[in-house]
Amino acid sequence: MAAALLLRAAAAWAARRAAGGAAGTARLLPPAAPARLPGTLAPVRHSSHGKRMFIIKATSFYDSRFLKLLRFYILLTGLPVAILITYVNIFIGEAELAEIPEGYVPDYWEYYKHPISRWIARYILDPPEKDYEKCMALLDVEAKKAEMRLMTLEARRLMRARGDGPWYHYETPDKNLTDDSFKSTPDN
Amino acid sequence: MPEDTDWEVYKAPPKRTPVGERATSLPNPVEFFQAVFNNVIDRPVTLIREWIERQQNRNKFYYYHQQFRRVPDVSECVEGDYLCFFEAEAQWRRDRMVDREIVAIVRERFAACQHREGPNQFQNCAKEMEQLLQVTKAYQDKYGDLGAHGNARTCLMKQNTAGFILVSGVQTRYCMGQL
């Protein structure tokens, strides 16, 4: 129907143009030439939504597959984490700063503001006092080992020098086995 | 979430411009834009924020600033007592963190004063400038040339050498004390 109207309008315009041309050539405004692709003569009029074209372009299969997979794997954990964090921030909210009440010893996770930090400090990480004591225990063990090593070196030195300790004993044959009596020949 | 600035701390003093008389009968366009902003943006945002705060106020909980016990200094540790060194080192690092925050706060106060006063800053901000000078000088004396790997022991050594340079009568045991 649209094509039919277009045909009729074009026919009327052509007729007007022919009549105008017969009447006179002087015109105030010359008719504008219709824009046309190079090499074409007239637009084709279909009775449908246009000819079906097979457009040749480079494949986007691999690119779109990559982007789909990327979005999927990021959102697979990203979305639950984002929802959890949003829920915590809106409905639980951060802690408020307060003075430590008299006689009250706060637990070690009550020194953090954000509820997720508090949860991590409470259930996942060790209390800082435990870390501190573990560190000090390691230092103590190493300090005692160093002290023991120095002491053994000193004891070894003294025993070697004085010869009165249990170390640096070399077994010598019994002196009762030696015969000190005078011999008949000098080379016995 | 990052620390929000406390708007009440560095509030400018109230302005003393007099209220002018209306010279025309035309409405002030600024009031129109203010009304638009208030109703379209400010009111909904405030309502949502208040709703969120109502949800959060149902179970409040608090956090505290941890108080650490004072332990003997590096200067009071016997040579070879590594546990004493460890505890003194931890205490020294905590003190250094606190001192850094103090310097940052004093600097922020001075910057706020500068911004507020504008061209009058050299007269009106003299107190803040003096305070900043004193605090930065003290920090420099305590932690100045220790470098990135400074620890309590190097600070003690610095204090021992600096004690010979200072004029007598000035407190020299300031490496381990508070700022």
Asked whether the beta carbons of residue B90 and residue A110 sit closer than 8 angstroms, the reply is no
Cα of A32 vs its chain's centroid, Å: 62
Cβ distance A98 to B80 less than 8 Å, yes or no, reads: no
Q: What is the pLDDT of residues B38-58, one digit of tens each?
A: 999 999 999 999 999 999 999
Count of all residues that appear for chain B in the document: 179
Would you give the distance in Å from CA B89 to the centre of its chain? 24
Residues of A in contact with B63 (CB under 8 A): 95-98, 110-113, 118
Q: Are A92 and A115 in contact (CB under 8 A)?
A: yes
* B68 part of contact set with chain A, CB < 8 Å: no
Task: Give B27's pLDDT tier (boundaries 50, 70, 90).
Answer: confident
- Helices B82-117, B152-165: axis angle to 10 degrees equals 70
Q: What angle do CA B122, B126, B132 make, to 5 degrees?
A: 115
Angle at B7 between CA B61 and CA A98, to 5 degrees: 25
- Can you tell me the distance from the alpha carbon of B69 to that of B88, in angstroms, rounded to the nearest whole number? 11
Burial of B153 (0-12, 13-18, 19+ CB in 10 A): middle
The predicted pLDDT at position A51 comes to 84
Nearest CA in chain B to A96: B62
B-interface mutation test, from A90, A102, A138, most B Cβ less than 10 A away? A90
Q: Which residue of B has its CA nearest to A104?
A: B64
Q: What is the pLDDT of residue A17?
A: 78
What's the mean pLDDT when you consider all of chain B? 86
Helix, coil or strand: residue B88: helix
- Residue B124's alpha-carbon distances to B102, B114, B116, in angstroms, are 22, 9, 10
Query: For B13, left (φ over 0), alpha (ψ -120 to 50), or beta?
Result: beta
B71 touches chain A (CB under 8 A): no
Nearest CA in chain A to B80: A143
Reference B58, options A100, A90, A107; nearest CA is A90
Q: Minimal Cα distance from B90: which residue of A?
A: A132
Over the stretch B74-96, which tens digit does the pLDDT of each residue have? 999 999 899 999 999 999 999 99
- pTM of the predicted model, to two decimals? 0.70
Q: What pLDDT digit, counting tens, does each position of B96-147 carry?
A: 999 999 999 999 999 998 988 889 889 988 999 999 999 999 999 999 889 8
CB contact under 8 A, A91 and B83: no
Q: Could you report how far apart the first and last alpha carbons of chain B are, in Å?
A: 30
Task: State whether residue B7 sits within 8 Å of chain A by CB.
Answer: no
Size of interface A-B (CB pairs under 8 A): 61
Which of A108, A110, A134, A151 is the best substitution to test chain B (most B C-beta atoms within 10 A)?
A110
Among chain A, residues having any CB pair with chain B shorter than 8 Å are 89-100, 106, 110-115, 118, 132, 135-136, 139-140, 142-143, 147
Q: What is the pLDDT of residues B160-177, one digit of tens each?
A: 887 766 544 344 444 444
Q: Measured between alpha carbons, how far is B38 from B46 in angstroms, rounded to an integer?
A: 10
Q: What is the pLDDT of residue B173?
A: 45
User: Which segments of chain A have a pLDDT < 70?
Assistant: 19-33
In the numeric block, the tokens 């190097």 are attached to B154
Place of tokens 């824009």: A35
**Of B1, B65, B82, which is closest to A94 when you measure between CB atoms?**
B1
pLDDT at B170: 42
Put simply, the answer to whether A96 touches B63 (Cβ < 8 Å) is yes
ipTM (interface predicted TM):
0.77
